[in-house]
């Protein structure tokens, strides 16, 4: 396979990743709102570790550490977005427990 074809395939995967990323961020905002209504903190170490362990297993031995880093980065972005949405949607600041 030549470089141009590989790059074309990467572009297709990137298109899918962006679509899924946006979908996940929207869901993260919904999770943040639900947590706020229930008085729960945004950060959930147990849930995050379970997701990372699952992702690492799915990724396989070679990519497991990268899958973990990918998801930890995604969690950070999701929490940032939840906090931004909380401010935009006028959730009370003292209800956001990070």
Kindly state the tokens that stand for 42: 């945004």
Is this prediction's pTM over 0.85? no
pLDDT exceeding 90 applies to what percent of the chain?
Answer: 79
Is there a contact between 58 and 67 (Cβ–Cβ < 8 Å)?
Answer: yes
Please state, as a whole number, how many other Cβ atoms lie within 10 Å of the Cβ of residue 54.
12
* Helix residue ranges per DSSP H, the chain: 3-38, 45-88
pLDDT digits (tens, 9 = 90+) for 31-49: 999 998 899 998 899 999 9
State the pLDDT at residue 97: 47
Banded pLDDT at 92 (limits 50, 70, 90): low
Please state, as a whole number, how many other Cβ atoms lie within 10 Å of the Cβ of residue 91.
17
Domains of the chain, by residue range, sit at 3-95
Kindly state the tokens that stand for 91: 């959730």
* CATH 1.20.59.10 corresponds to the domain 3-95: yes
Q: Does position 94 have pLDDT exceeding 70, yes or no?
A: no
């Amino acid at each position: 396979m030549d470089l141009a074809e590989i790059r074309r395939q990467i572009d297709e995967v990137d298109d899918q990743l962006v679509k899924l990323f946006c979908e996940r961020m929207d869901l993260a905002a919904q999770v943040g709102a639900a947590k706020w209504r229930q008085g729960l903190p945004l950060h959930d170490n147990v849930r995050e570790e379970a997701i990372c362990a699952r992702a690492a297993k799915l990724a396989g031995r070679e990519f497991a550490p990268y899958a973990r880093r990918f998801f930890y980065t995604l969690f950070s972005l999701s929490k940032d977005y939840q906090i931004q949405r909380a401010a935009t949607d006028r959730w009370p600041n003292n209800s956001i427990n990070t």
